[in-house]
Structure 1
Amino acid sequence: MSYAMNAFLVDATAAARAAAAVILRKADQLSSLTIMSKGLNDFVSEVDHDAEREIVKILSQAYPGHSFLCEEAGYQGCCDSEFTWIIDPLDGTTNFLHGFPQFAVSIALLNFGCLECGVIYDPTRDELFTAVRGGGAALNGRPMRVTEKSGLAGSLLCTGFPLWYPSDNSTYFDMMRTIVAEGANIRRCGAAALDLAWVACGRIDGFWEMGLKPWDIAAGILLIQEAGGIVTDFAGGGSSLETGDILTAGPTLQTQMYEAFFPYADQLPIRRP
């Protein structure tokens, strides 16, 4: 099936836009939202739940035999399905609750363990990042590629550090000091899905983080791979979706990041409790 005619992508896009409409309707009502804590510095609001239900409703109607792995509702649907939709209805909830315009909807489809398609939609900028396995990646329908940075000096990298487990931040700070000493610039934007989309389209040269969840990174992994980037865990393997540890950039820079972070391998992995 071609990229343009991929039915999965069409339906995932429709679901992402519907969820975004839910989010934007509530964006000017932040003071009246019901907000709950899932853990230290980890929040969920009624918007997350409402947006997630909208996504599942649309996709389950289109694909009643599929299963769903959702951030808020967990695993549901047909347990023996070859297809699983991985859904983050609002990545960057803390940003959203502060009126900080850096959040997105993320949807990916897993087929027998392979990422089939991915959609990340940024409702504040009306930017739709899409990818189909073997079919390339696009931003609002235009092909996108990762950057071809040859070294850490002058690169723009993004990360996140575990506010849910502050004692582990020392590892992150050590890693940051190492690459800053090599001339890299670092940002911490607070929405991993959107960070990965920005790597795929070339706004950010590379990204790393540990202890993420599948819904944070599934769509972004495919976007970057289809945009010519490399995605590994910190051992250089392909288990990011399982471990939540991700290190990604264009081929040359990714290798340099891996080498810079190798001395910290014995302090990893960091896992979300």
Structure 2
Amino acid sequence: MIAETDAELAVRAARAGAGVVRAMYGESLTRYDKSAGDFATAADLEAEKVILDVLLTARPDDAVTGEESGRTGAGGTGRMWLVDPLCGTLNYAARSMLVAVNVALRVGTGVTAAASADPFSGEVFWTDGERAHVRRDDVDEELRPSPLSRLVDVNLDPPFPNEPGFRAVRLLADPEFVALFRPRVVSTTLAVAWVAAGRRAAYVTDGHLRDSVHFAAGIALCQAAGCVVTGIDGRPPHTGTGGLIVAADQETHAALLRMTANQAR
């Protein structure tokens, strides 16, 4: 019997979580306050429980960091699963279907497998660290980034560690941004996977994202698909001032980098 790869396990775990999210959609769910303006629902907790069960049953010697439960598992091998069971909780609670279920495996300093599942389309965006695909009805299609839509998602949620030098919302009023792009604010990292899939030209956010359960899967997908992925200062991810610019091509990335640099002047 062929052993299940880490990438296939990530897909299976993300699908299991997505099944819970889909099944509980529309219910009157208990909310659990975490911080000002941030909360989890019973769906977040149940989806994370199912995902962790899949991962730790298959890889009992690995560690897991879940958004809701924190760190669990052994973790003596340098293998850490990063789990965001429901990215877009506020969307979900408002009965909007723009959410994602994110699972990523960090081995050492790099993410070697990741999956981002859309519970409502049934699509799973996944990577083995080398190439990126979308799986629909158990058929895989390679992801191909494209700038043609000109749609750029901008994350407007706090925290804003780089203000006053940079504030994502100011991009929306930048004359060059208005001339080149069309803004979107989806408020879920599903939009990062959409850059890899060619459905968005770019995605921009502030924040410190190393080992982020929200962003690890999307960043890995975009890197494997050949997107341009840097911090908001153009440096490699998780260095410099942090933040994230993911773009379908060099031209789109260069334009957004100019606009972020303009804010700091």
TM-score of the two chains, using structure 1 as the length reference: 0.85
Whole-Å Cα distance in 1 between the matches of residues 46 and 107 of structure 2? 26
Q: Secondary structure at the match of 1:216?
A: coil
Gaps of 5+ in 1: 267-273
Whole-Å Cα distance in 1 between the matches of residues 12 and 179 of structure 2? 43
Mapping for residues 2-41 of structure 1, pairs under 5 Å: 7-29=5-27, 31=28, 33-41=29-37
Label 1:93 to 1:242 Cα distance change in 2 as closer, same or farther (>3 A): farther
Whole-Å Cα distance in 1 between the matches of residues 91 and 199 of structure 2? 20
Equivalent residues of 1:41, 1:163 under 8 A apart: no
RMSD over equivalenced CA pairs, Å: 2.4
Q: Which amino acid aligns with 1:261?
A: T
Q: Alignment partner for residue 110 of structure 1, among 103, 106, 110?
A: 106
Equivalent residues of 2:61, 2:76 under 8 A apart: no
| Number of equivalences | 253
Q: Secondary structure at the match of 1:123?
A: coil
Q: Which residue of 2 aligns with 1:131?
A: 127
Q: Which residue of 2 aligns with 1:254?
A: 253
Label 1:15 to 1:79 Cα distance change in 2 as closer, same or farther (>3 A): closer
Instruction: Give the % identical residues.
Output: 26
Q: Which residue of 2 aligns with 1:269?
A: none
Mapping for residues 83-98 of structure 1, pairs under 5 Å: 83-98=79-94
Bigger share in helix? 1
Whole-Å Cα distance in 1 between the matches of residues 107 and 240 of structure 2? 15
Whole-Å Cα distance in 2 between the matches of residues 241 and 147 of structure 1? 26
Mapping for residues 55-204 of structure 1, pairs under 5 Å: 55-134=51-130, 136-140=131-135, 141-148=140-147, 155-162=150-157, 171-178=167-174, 179-192=176-189, 194-204=190-200
Q: Which amino acid aligns with 1:137?
A: A
1:244 Cα offset (Å): 5.8
Equivalent residues of 2:147, 2:202 under 8 A apart: no
TM-score of the two chains, using structure 2 as the length reference: 0.88
